[in-house]
Structure 1
Amino acid sequence: MRLMAIDISRRNFTKLAGIMVMSPSLLTACASTTKMAQGTLIGGSVRNKGDYEVIVSAENATAMHRLPLPDRGHGIAVSPKTHHAVMFARRPGSYAMVFDYREGQVVKLILAPNNRHFYGHGVYSNDGRWLYATEGERSSSRGIIGVYDVANDYRKIEEFTGFGLGPHEVIVMADDSLVVGVGGVHTNGRQPKNLATMQPSLSYLSPQGELLEQATLGDHHKSIRHLAHDGDTTVLTGQQYRGEAEDYVPLVAIHQRGSVMEELGGEPEQWARFNHYIASIAATETHILATSPRGSCYGIWDKVTRELLEINALPDASGVVVRNGDFHVSSGAGQVIKINPQLDKQRFYSGIQWDNHWSAIT
């Protein structure tokens, strides 16, 4: 059965939500029922113009489940306790879609209120009880972390705020604290309105929403957007540069609480390859990898020395995750690259137009 393209107006979002309540199978009719391997990776993809989906794949990027999305997706949260995952709409997003990645079934479609939007990312708490989502107030871009009760049908129970404008990604550390990449930009849709006064930060929150610490970079035009951690206490940040087009500045930094943010190495001509934007970032015990779809490349740094080791071309370089000590990198051109700790590379062609980010099923 081929699903019709989904109209993303609010009226049809509401209609879509109603259909899901009555018959979730209508939305998952094109989900693969293949059980040949266990799903290991989840990412968004583009099928045709205006036609988007989320894909659960095996490690070699073979699609196991394909679920249509109401609109373009961005980041994916994976529950550490259940088989649930959540695809968040690309900012300014109107939905967060909860689905069962093992069965390929939609569980719930969460719709943003008229005065709010999703920023494209979220994360589950370490015990799987809560879902945290980066959200904003449309009129002001006031940053919000929405807190959803997983066991209570993902009902929103609380909002954390007071850390700045335009939060993009949120991650959870081993001690249950939250880390928020605050872009600092007030936007109307996707149009920035305050570039001269923007105030990005890396903000640490307690599980109760208390602001614990904020770290900043020296250049306020570096909008802190994408985050990762190394499983311990180190946070990695990828930036979008909002300054002069002819300036090529470092776009990846590393941080531990109580210290200053440290930018990774690279010459201006090397940073120029990234075209002012880092999309996804991840770290192993020895290396850091960051992608740039705008630059159609990815870079690898030594985690100890902070030195840039290599920049490799990859058309529309998109997601990166670490699984079993290896990097897995996706591309909008369908390529998938597996990189081991010795930086040896194994390439696959998936035939899938991967979009934005990947998440690993642990």
Structure 2
Amino acid sequence: MQQMAIDRAKRNLAKALAMGTLSPSLLAGCVTNSTAAKSNVELGCMNTNQVLIGGAIRRQGQFEAVVYSQLGQFQHHIPLPARGHGVAIAPSKHHAVMFARRPGSYAMVFDYRDGEEKALIPAENNRHFYGHGVYSNDGRWLYATQGERATSRGIIGVYDAENSYKKVAEFSGFGVGPHEIIIMSDGRLVVGVGGVHTQGRTPINLATMKPSLSYLSGNGELLDQVMLPDHHKSIRHLAHDGEQTVLCGQQYRGEPDDYVPLVAMHRTGESLVELGGEPEQWARFNHYVASIAATDSHILATSPRGNCYGIWDKSSLDLLEINVLPDASGVVVKNDQLYVSSGVGKVVKINADLTKNAFVSGIQWDNHWSAIT
């Protein structure tokens, strides 16, 4: 019944957006006048350097990338060939890339200042995109998680951002079914390897899956690989805290009545350490964690399937709270504040002291967010 209500709410939101009856109010008009500015500051208005890019559902069967301006208003709606998933933002030019949801057929590069498409990267006939990618720290290379269609063999496609995003290399040898890839400050690539061989989106090797958190050099050399004791925890989504801490979220592929930790933390040279929570608390996440972010003091993970997000203390790893948010999706961190999106248009701003403000964005946010820093 709860899922039916959520689906109905999403349909109603899509209808309102299509008819123009729901005005976008998220962070809008932050500098109209002193009184309005004061009001918006109290509501948590974004600073001028906080620009967000995320996938969205425009209406049934139509998808887009949405760019928010420095004032938190709509700047660009960029139509997508199919449903998008993750976003990579270039550090050295005004480019962003939207990756198709797995098994994806495209990656679209666009200029987030004017919304102009710069390149549409097709997946080769025997490849598909897994929905995520990241630029090298100097912006020269774009790394994208890919799979071989027949086997789900994991591949990192390497594209030359200075040469029309031509594919120049592939890295492999780290496992099956990679999903998210991030980059550390020292240039190491970190890959969440799900370990699942799929046909379309149907898993076919759950008894033998081998998920891992894999570290690669910028040249594709496998530097380290760590695993959780339970091989049914498919490692999928990643984040780091700007230093040396990597966080990974899992999709549990084991017994449906088992409720196990779904977020783990890793530091180089150490084992994966799982975050706290009782089985009945982890049950709220419905076996799936999507976006993750970390501040100096807290870790946040969303669960669209569980219609909630959790917040943990970063030092003790204790679960502090679980909050209801229908179709909880993306999360970004900026200035020690967290912003969480949802597929029913709601956005929650979370301050360092965990006080919260909620907004209606007028956008059906879909999957992940990225912030232009």
TM above 0.5: yes
Residue number in structure 2 paired with 1:206: 217
Which aligned pairs between 1:45-56 and structure 2 lie closer than 5 A?
45-56=56-67
Do structure 1's residue 138 and structure 2's residue 149 form an aligned pair? yes
Residue number in structure 2 paired with 1:21: none
Q: CA deviation at 1:61?
A: 5.1
The match for 1:189 among 193, 197, 200 is 200
The match for 1:309 among 307, 311, 320 is 320
Residue number in structure 2 paired with 1:273: 284
Residue number in structure 1 paired with 2:367: 356
Residue number in structure 1 paired with 2:172: 161
Output the CA distance in 2 between the equivalents of 1:74 and 1:289: 19
Residue number in structure 1 paired with 2:93: 82
Which aligned pairs between 1:195-344 and structure 2 lie closer than 5 A?
195-344=206-355
The answer to whether the Cα contact below 8 Å between 2:49 and 2:372 also exists between their aligned partners in 1 is no
Say which structure, 1 or 2, has more relative contact order (CA 8 Å, 6+ apart). Answer: 2
The answer to whether the Cα contact below 8 Å between 1:61 and 1:336 also exists between their aligned partners in 2 is no
Task: Tell me how many residue pairs correspond in the alignment.
Answer: 328
- Counterpart of 2:65, as a letter, is V
Output the CA distance in 2 between the equivalents of 1:171 and 1:234: 12
Which aligned pairs between 1:35-46 and structure 2 lie closer than 5 A?
40-46=51-57
The answer to whether the Cα contact below 8 Å between 2:159 and 2:167 also exists between their aligned partners in 1 is yes
Output the CA distance in 2 between the equivalents of 1:253 and 1:235: 8
Do structure 1's residue 67 and structure 2's residue 78 form an aligned pair? yes
The answer to whether the Cα contact below 8 Å between 2:55 and 2:367 also exists between their aligned partners in 1 is yes
Q: CA deviation at 1:59?
A: 6.6
Output the CA distance in 2 between the equivalents of 1:203 and 1:94: 24
Q: Which runs of 4+ in 1 moved over 6 A?
A: 36-39
Do structure 1's residue 175 and structure 2's residue 186 form an aligned pair? yes
Check 1:292–1:355 CA distance in 2 against 1; reply closer, same or farther (3 A cut): same
Which aligned pairs between 1:81-160 and structure 2 lie closer than 5 A?
81-160=92-171
Question: RMSD in angstroms over aligned alpha carbons?
Answer: 1.3
The answer to whether the Cα contact below 8 Å between 1:39 and 1:56 also exists between their aligned partners in 2 is no
Q: CA deviation at 1:38?
A: 6.5
- Which sections of structure 2, spanning at least 5 residues, go unmatched? 1-28, 32-47
Output the CA distance in 2 between the equivalents of 1:124 and 1:215: 23
Q: CA deviation at 1:62?
A: 2.9
- Counterpart of 2:175, as a letter, is G
Output the CA distance in 2 between the equivalents of 1:328 and 1:60: 15
TM-score normalized by structure 1? 0.89
How far does the alpha carbon of each residue in 1:18-75 deviate from its partner, in whole angstroms, 9 at most, with x for none? Answer: xxxxxxxxxxxxxxxx9x9767000000011110000001477532110000000000
Q: CA deviation at 1:86?
A: 0.1
The percent of aligned pairs where both chains have the same amino acid is: 70
The answer to whether the Cα contact below 8 Å between 1:39 and 1:64 also exists between their aligned partners in 2 is no
Output the CA distance in 1 between the equivalents of 2:369 and 2:110: 15
Output the CA distance in 1 between the equivalents of 2:91 and 2:329: 23
The answer to whether the Cα contact below 8 Å between 2:50 and 2:371 also exists between their aligned partners in 1 is no
- Which sections of structure 1, spanning at least 5 residues, go unmatched? 1-33
Check 1:214–1:206 CA distance in 2 against 1; reply closer, same or farther (3 A cut): same
- Counterpart of 2:123, as a letter, is A
